A and B are shown apart, each in its own frame.
Chain A
Amino acid sequence: MDLQPYNNLSRNLALGVIGISFIPLLLVGGLIFVQFSSIYTEKVYAHLGAVVDKHLETIDAFLAGKQYEVLYLDKAFTYEQLTTPAFLERTLKDIQQQYGRVFVDLGVIDASGRQVAYAGPFDQLGADCSEESWYVNSRDSKIAISDVFLGLHRSPHFIVTVNNSDGLRSWTLKATIDFLAFGNQVENIRIGNTGHAYIVNAQGELQTRPRSVETQALSMVASRTVQRPHTTPGVLIERSLGSDGEDYIVVSAALAGADWKLVFQQESSDALSELATAERIALLVLVAGALAILGMALFMNRKLVTRFRLIDLRTEMMNRQMIEAGKLASIGELAAGIAHEINNPVAIMIEEAGWVGDLLEDEGREMSCREEVERALAQIRTQGVRCKDITHKLLSFARQTDTRVTMVSLPELVAEVVNLSMQPARYARIEFSLNIDPHMPPIKASPTELQQVFLNLINNSIQAMEQDGGTLIISCHASPDEVFITVADTGPGIPEANLSRIFDPFFTTKPVGRGSGLGLSICYGIIHQMGGTIEVESTVGHGTSFNIRLPLQRSDTFQGGNS
């Protein structure tokens, strides 16, 4: 059998099933994942935005509180009071008591930039501040916050200044705020492994200490701004590419009290690490699903193709049987025609021989060759009868015999046929072994045809065992819808080369004159017409067995049997 079409079919089926299953799987999986990832990213952005917003408020409040404190001092006390060293000293102590050591010092600077009063740990009384950037920058506004600087004391701090005047003179009250206390507020913002916050001034200079040296050296290039609805005004979320090649989420917001910006940055892979986990799980599920589909497709495919092959095989067998049946039918028609054409001349021949015989009786008593003529006439008659037998068999083969269908009891029919064959079987030293279920239901068939089948099979078996004798086994039994008949012998068997041709019309291995080669063809034709099958099994040296299966039609479904 050519397997190429099945391999092609198998491949196409597998590709089809895999394609049809994978495309929706990937589409749906991809869509869900994209949707999930966008929702999740939104959530992360919202969270970071909220964290920054909250801290912004805290820091704003801290700064505003400090500013307010200085503003309060400025408002509450006169220039004279503030420039009294003891008073200033006491005031510093008071606020340090209240706020801890956040306030480092207090000082009053006159219009010329000279520090005219000072309370604090350093010796700054009389210092000229007119050149100091924080002083210069603070001139234009009532209240100002300087950038963070190390100043003279190598300690990070920033200065809150309040400008005031009373008509006679103007002065500036300054307070130095310990940056460490403030920086803690910012540095405490930590999320994940890499998320941290810092403050930069208007020029982008760091005002707090980021958590690592690397971050200090890092420069960011914003790749895109994330537009989010409901973001607190002033909070800007950006995706930026760091100079280290990492992708960062940068959230920044301007502080209200100063020209500073609170910046929070986190590596996006860290911020979205759970998304990555989800991504891995989804991929795993997808791969598992794909493998399951693949396995299923291959399994189903194999089953289907096997089934197709079986169906094709069965169809091919049926086609072969149809051809066989068609061959038999056309040969049958031909045979019927031939039989008729031959019967007439043979009849004349026999009658003529009979006539010669008649004449011989009267006239030829003294003929010297009388015996020879009588022998010749007998031979003509014998051969004529042989021709007749052949033509009658041909006609039976063409199913011109009694095909009337009735309900037939197989045990009875077999007994009749066996009785007919008893005599020749005895001569050949053949024993019958019958294994027939006496209670089997009757079958719908032509008794004449069934007799013919049994007679042909039994005669064949007897002829096969003629030389050495043997056993002829006939068994019949029924299942609920089939009848099984076996006619087996212990004869010499049939060579394998002949087995495939055994049902072919005119195929015979018997000596010329002993077999027409039609017996088994007739059996085959009859059994097939009844909707059954006949098969042969044979082992050389052990015997041959003909196995017949006939469909069982119960008498209650049988109608018009004698039509």
Chain B
Amino acid sequence: MSDASLLIVDDEPGFVETMQKRLAKRNMTAHTAQSGDEALRRLREFPEIEVIVLDVKMPGKDGLAVLQEIKQAFPLVEVIMLTGHATVPSALEGIQLGAYDYLMKPCSFDVLTEKINEAAALKRRHEVEAAKADGEKA
């Protein structure tokens, strides 16, 4: 599974650009955003996005607030928190708010892609289940 569509949200342009290029090389379509608001705009713009890699510490809206909004608007989209400043309470909060996982920068690229793929698979499974449920209702 290497065709996942994802969104990388980080206030560091250098980080998002490089990640985008490296992921693209592995057949992953990576959209980028440098703030929480931009991330929500991109999500509406590209509904095919399955997984979001979300920084926690960002100027303006912080990652946990953005996570909350995303989960409200797009409950099926999986979010992986990726931060340079991991604290147990923030990690716990992230997981409680529905994040798929919580990773610490710098993180091995292979680990990250693996997590992305797992999250994408989960999202697809959830979509199928949701569709089934809708069909049964109909």
Contacts and interface: CB of A to CB of B under 8 A. Distances in A.
Interface string A397-422: 00011111000000000000000000
A223 B73 CA distance: 122
Nearest to A398: B87
B22 A354 contact: yes
Given A344-B12, A344-B105, A348-B14, A339 B19 contact: no
Given A347-B84, A392-B104, 9 more contacts: A343-B84, A343-B105, A348-B12, A354-B109, A355-B18, A355-B22, A358-B21, A395-B85, A395-B86
29 contacts: A339-B84, A339-B85, A341-B84, A342-B84, A343-B104, A344-B12, A344-B15, A344-B84, A344-B105, A346-B105, A346-B106, A347-B15, A347-B106, A347-B107, A348-B12, A348-B18, A349-B106, A350-B106, A350-B109, A351-B15, A351-B18, A351-B19, A352-B14, A354-B22, A355-B18, A358-B21, A392-B104, A395-B85, A401-B88
B25 interface: yes
A384 interface: yes
Q: Nearest 5 A-B pairs (CB), nearest first?
A: A343-B84, A340-B85, A347-B106, A347-B105, A351-B18
Contact of B88 (A336, A346, A402): A402
Interface residues on B, range: 10 to 19
A354 B105 CA distance: 14
A388 interface: yes
Contacts of B12: 344, 347-348
B53 to A, nearest CB: 12
Contacts of B19: 351
B57 interface: yes
Interface string A370-406: 0000000000000011011000100100001111100
Interface of B: 12, 14-15, 18-19, 21-22, 25, 57, 84-88, 104-107, 109
Nearest to B13: A348
A34 to B, nearest CB: 82
Interface in A349-373: 349-352, 354-355, 358
Nearest to B10: A344
Nearest to A384: B106
A348 B55 CA distance: 13
B15 A400 contact: no
A344 B13 CA distance: 11
Nearest to A346: B106
Nearest to A404: B88
Contact of A352 (B18, B25, B85, B88): B18
The listed residue with most B CB atoms (<10 A of its CB), out of A342, A348, A355, A400, is A348
Contacts of B87: 400
Contacts of A350: 106, 109
Contacts of A388: 106
The listed residue with most B CB atoms (<10 A of its CB), out of A340, A347, A352, A402, is A347
Nearest to A358: B25
A401 B104 CA distance: 12
Nearest to B19: A351
A334 to B, nearest CB: 13
Interface string A234-276: 0000000000000000000000000000000000000000000
Contacts of B105: 343-344, 346-347
The listed residue with most A CB atoms (<10 A of its CB), out of B12, B18, B107, is B18
Contacts of A354: 18, 22, 109
A354 B25 CA distance: 12
A312 B85 CA distance: 42
Nearest to A344: B84
